[in-house]
Amino acid sequence: MMDAELLIAIKDTFIMVLIPTICAVFLGIPLGAVVFLTDKGGIRENKFINIPCNIYINVVRSFPFLIFVVILIPLTRLIFGTAFGLFPASFPICFVAVALYARFTEQSFYDVNSGIIDAALSMKASIFQIVWHFLLVEARSSLVLGLTSAIISFISYSTVMGVVGGGGIGDYAMRYGYNEYNYALVYRVVTIMIVIVFSIQIIGNRISKKLDKKRRIY
């Protein structure tokens, strides 16, 4: 059976992954859409918008995550009043989540058949309608797969948030496993993480396939 501390650690990890996932969906998708639409040759080509957005995405995605967490400590402390704790620990992951999923979204939109976009333009659809009724619908299967991969990445990022008192299953494994030379506990935690990751991947794959079948029917 799982002890109370481990259950709390799993709950903390769930929260640290849930918050960035919400940010990825509600901020990453719009940002990815903006990058796609304003790119060279795009529907609303605009380098003054596209370049800053791309810089943000590329810089955040390429930054070593632990160093990124440290750099954000002053901003985290300014917003939350402290750099330690569960919610402040989720803050840096949110930045990465938005950048990571924005790129996934952009790539998914590029995979959409250009004829569909041309059809939308011929019907005088607005930019919002093109994104909402055409791009998102056509790319939804790919977007689900991208989100699945992103969530697994968020889990990986959350395991190092013990450095800022974020808790979670990674911090639990370090404190009660590695630091106390209890390697059996470390292996147990690793097994739990593998099960969680496999479960998320299976669920994501099934949802993606189901959405892809519905799209083909239409």
For position 216, what pLDDT does the model report?
A: 55
User: Model-level pTM?
Assistant: 0.90
For position 14, what pLDDT does the model report?
A: 94
Q: Cβ contacts of residue 129 below 8 Å, gap of 6+?
A: 120
For position 99, what pLDDT does the model report?
A: 96
**Closest C-alpha among 103, 208, 196, 99 to residue 155:** 196
For position 215, what pLDDT does the model report?
A: 55
Handedness of CA 156, 157, 162, 166 (dihedral sign): negative
CB 33 within 8 A of CB 103: no
For position 60, what pLDDT does the model report?
A: 94
Compute mean pLDDT per 10 residues along the chain, 218 residues long, and list them. 80 93 97 96 93 96 89 91 86 95 96 90 92 93 95 91 79 85 90 94 94 61
**DSSP track, 146-204:** HHHHHHHHHHHHHTTGGGGT--SHHHHHIIIIITTT-HHHHHHHHHHHHHHHHHHHHHH
For position 170, what pLDDT does the model report?
A: 85
For position 82, what pLDDT does the model report?
A: 84
Residue 115: what residue type? Answer: G
**Closest C-alpha among 157, 148, 163, 164 to residue 197:** 148
